[in-house]
Amino acid sequence: MRTITLAAAIAAVVAVSGCSQSSSPSDKAAGPQASAPAPSGSAPAKTRENPLLTKSDLPFQAPPFDKIKDSDFAPAFEQGMKEQLTEVQKIADNPDKPTFDNTLVAMEKSGQTLNRVQMDFNALFSANSDDALSKVNEDMAPKLAAHSDAIYLNDKLFQRIQTLYNERDSLKLDPESERLLEWYYNDFVHHGAKLSDADKTKLKSFNEQASKLESQFVNKLLAATKAGALVVDDKSKLDGLSEGEIAAAAQAAKDRGLDGKWVLPLQNTTQQPALAELTNRDVRKQLFENSYTRTEKGDANDTRKTIAELAKVRAEKAKLLGYPNYAAWKLEDQMAKTPDAVLKFVRALVPPTMAKARHEAGELQSIIDKSGKHFKLQAWDWEFYAEKLRKAKYDLDQDQIKPYFEVDNVLKNGVFYAAHELYGLTFKERKDIPVYNPDVKVFEVFDKDGKPLGLFYADYFKRDNKQGGAWMDNLVGQSKLLGTKPVIYNVCNFTKPAPGQPALISWDDVTTMFHEFGHALHGFFASQQYPSLSGTNVARDFVEFPSQFNEHWASYPQVFNHYAKNYKTGEPMPKELAAKIHKAATFNQGYDLGELLSASLLDMSWHMIPADAPLKDVDQFEAQALKDNHTDLSYLPPRYRSSYFMHIWGNGYSAGYYAYLWTEMLDDDAYQWFENHGGMTRANGQRFRDMILSRGNTEDLGKMFRDFYGKDPEVGPMLKDRGLK
Ligand SMILES: [Zn+2]
| d(CA 621, ligand 1 centre) in Å | 29
Query: What type of residue is 346?
Result: V
Is pLDDT of 15 > 80? no
Ligand 1 centre from 468 Cα, in Å? 13
**Given a cut of 60, is residue 24 above it in pLDDT?**
no
pLDDT tens, position by position, 183-208 = 999 999 999 999 999 999 999 999 99
Check residue 392 and give its pLDDT: 85
Q: What is the dihedral of CA 133, 124, 307, 230, to 10 degrees?
A: -90
Q: Which residues are designated catalytic?
A: 516
SS3 675: helix
Q: Is the pLDDT of residue 20 over 80?
A: no
3-state secondary structure of 473: strand
Query: With contact defined as beta carbons under 8 Å apart, do 467 and 16 qualify?
Result: yes
Residue 12 pLDDT greater than 80, yes or no = no
SS3 491: strand
Q: What's residue 458's pLDDT?
A: 98
Q: How far is the CA of 496 from the centre of ligand 1 (A)?
A: 22
Q: Find, among 535, 551, 415, the residue nearest to 474 by Cα.
A: 535
**In angstroms, what is the span from residue 653 Cα to ligand 1's centroid?**
12
Cα 512 to Cα 392, 483, 553: the distances in Å are 26, 31, 12
Exposed, middle or buried by CB within 10 Å (0-12, 13-18, 19+), for 23?
middle
469 compared with 539, residue with greater pLDDT: 539
Parallel/antiparallel/unpaired status of strands 487-494 and 441-446? unpaired
Distance CA(662)–CA(656), nearest Å, equals 10
Phi-psi label, residue 9: left if phi above 0, alpha if psi -120 to 50, beta otherwise: left
Task: HSE, CB side, 13 Å, CA atoms: give it for residue 705.
Answer: 22
pLDDT number for residue 7: 25
What pLDDT, in 10s, does the model give residues 614-625?
Answer: 988 999 999 999
Q: In angstroms, what is the span from residue 5 Cα to ligand 1's centroid?
A: 4
So what's the pLDDT on residue 512?
A: 97
The confidence score (pLDDT) of residue 499 equals: 83
> Position 26: which residue type?
S
Q: Tell me the C-alpha distance between 207 and 226, whole Å.
A: 29
**Digit-coded pLDDT (tens) for 658-670:** 999 999 999 999 9
Inter-axis angle of helices 131-152 and 197-227, nearest 10: 160
Residue 40 has pLDDT above 50, yes or no: no
Q: What pLDDT, on a 0 to 100 scale, did the predictor assign at position 652?
A: 82
Q: Three-class SS of residue 459?
A: strand
Q: Which residues on neighbouring strands pair with residue 489, listed in sequence order?
A: 457, 473
pLDDT on residue 18: 24
CA–CA separation, 130 vs 181, rounded Å?
A: 40
Find the 663 Cα to ligand 1 centroid distance in Å.
10
Summary mean pLDDT of the chain = 91
Residue 278 CB coordination number (10 Å): 26
Residue 13, strand partner residues = 267
Residue 17 has a pLDDT of 24
Q: What is the pLDDT of residue 73?
A: 98
Residue 542 has pLDDT above 90, yes or no: yes
Among 11-20, 444-453, 458-467, where is mean pLDDT lowest?
Answer: 11-20
Say whether pLDDT at 8 is over 90: no
Angstrom distance (rounded) from CA 452 to CA 84: 31
Between the CA of 275 and the centroid of ligand 1 the distance, in Å, is: 25
Taken in order 19, 644, 436, 49, the sign of the CA dihedral is negative
| Cα distances (angstroms) measured from residue 577 to each of 398, 400, 502, 513, 602 | 11, 9, 21, 21, 38
Q: Which residues surround ligand 1, an ion (CB under 5 A)?
A: 3, 5, 544, 547
What share of the chain in percent tops pLDDT 70?
Answer: 94
Query: In whole angstroms, what is the distance from residue 660 CA to residue 593 CA?
Result: 11
- Domain ranges in the chain are 59-193, 230-293
Query: In the β-sheet with 452-461, what is the strand arrangement from edge to edge?
Result: 426-430, 441-446, 452-461, 487-494, 471-476
Our measurement of the distance from residue 180's CA atom to the centroid of its chain's CA atoms, rounded to an integer in Å, reads 25
Mean pLDDT of 583-593: 91
CA of 662 to the centre of ligand 1 (A): 12
> What pLDDT score was predicted for residue 31?
30
161 neighbors 104 (Cβ within 8 angstroms): yes
Report the amino acid identity of residue 575.
K
Left, alpha or beta for 452 (phi > 0: left; psi -120 to 50: alpha)?
Answer: beta
Topology of the domain comprising 59-193: Glutathione S-transferase Yfyf (Class Pi); Chain A, domain 2 (1.20.1050)
Q: What is the pLDDT of residue 390?
A: 87
Task: Tell me the CA–centroid distance for residue 512 and ligand 1, in Å.
Answer: 9
Residues across the chain: 725
pLDDT at 46: 64
3-state secondary structure 240-271: CECHHHHHHHHHHHHHCCCCCCEEECCECCCC
Sort strands 471-476 and 487-494 into parallel, antiparallel or unpaired: antiparallel
CA distance 600 to 595: 9
Structural element, H or E, at residue 410:
helix 407-410
Radius of gyration for the alpha carbons in the chain, expressed in angstroms and rounded: 26
